[in-house]
Amino acid sequence: MLAYVGWVILGLVVLIVFWFVGLYNGLVRTKNIAKEAWAQIDVQLKRRHDLIPNLVETAKGYMKHEKETLEAVIKARQTAVNVTVDPNAGPAQVAQAEGALGQVMKQFMMLTENYPDLKANENMLALQEELTGTENRIAFSRQHYNDAVRVYNTKRESIPTNIVAGFGDFPAMEFFEIEDERERQAPSVKF
C-alpha cells in the first residue's frame, strides 16, 4: 500500500512538472511571437525611412523655395531612424518619433500639390505609390504586433500562468499606440 501511495505522489509530481513546463513554454512562444511582430514593424519602418530621402531628392529640384519643409522632413526622418535603431527604445518612443515623421510627411505631401511638374514626375509618382504601400504595411504590422502583445499579456496575467511567469523573464509588453489623434491618420498621397 505504501508503494502504491509513493507511485501516486511521484505521478502527481511528474504531471505538475510537465504542466509547469507546458505553461512556461507557452509563455516563451507568445513572447517570441510578439518580438517577431515588433521586428516586422521595424522592417517596415526601415523601408519607410529608406524611401523618404529619395522623395526629398526628387522634390528638391522643383521645391527650391520649400527648404524649411525639406529640412524638417530630413530631421524628422533622422530622429525616427535613431529611435528605431536604439535597442532600449520601446513602442512608445518609436510611436512618438514615427508620429512626428508622419506629420512632417503630411505637410511635405501637401506641398507637392503646389508643383504640377513634380506631381507629374514619374519618379515621384513611383515613390509616392511605394510610400503608400509601405504605410499600409506599417499599419498591418502594428495591428499584428498589438494582437501578439495582447495574447502574450493576457497569458502572462492569467491564472495559473501568472505564477509560472514569476519564475522567468516575462515582463509586460507595451502596445504600439499613437498618442496624438492627428498622428493616427496615414499621410494622404494625392495625385
- Residue 159: CB atoms within 10 A of its CB come to 6
Helix then strand then coil, in percent of the chain rounded to 5, is 80, 0, 20
| Nearest by Cα to 69 from 97, 99, 98, 108 | 108
pLDDT band at 186 (very low <50, low <70, confident <90, very high): low
The pLDDT tens digits for 68-107 are: 888 999 999 999 999 988 888 889 899 999 999 999 998 8
Topology of the domain covering 2-184: de novo design (two linked rop proteins) (1.20.1440)
Predicted TM-score of the model (pTM): 0.79
> Per mean pLDDT, which of 29-33, 42-46, 99-103, 174-178 is the most reliable?
29-33
Local confidence band at 180 (pLDDT 50, 70, 90 cut-offs): low
- pLDDT score recorded for residue 191: 39
Domain positions in the chain are 2-184
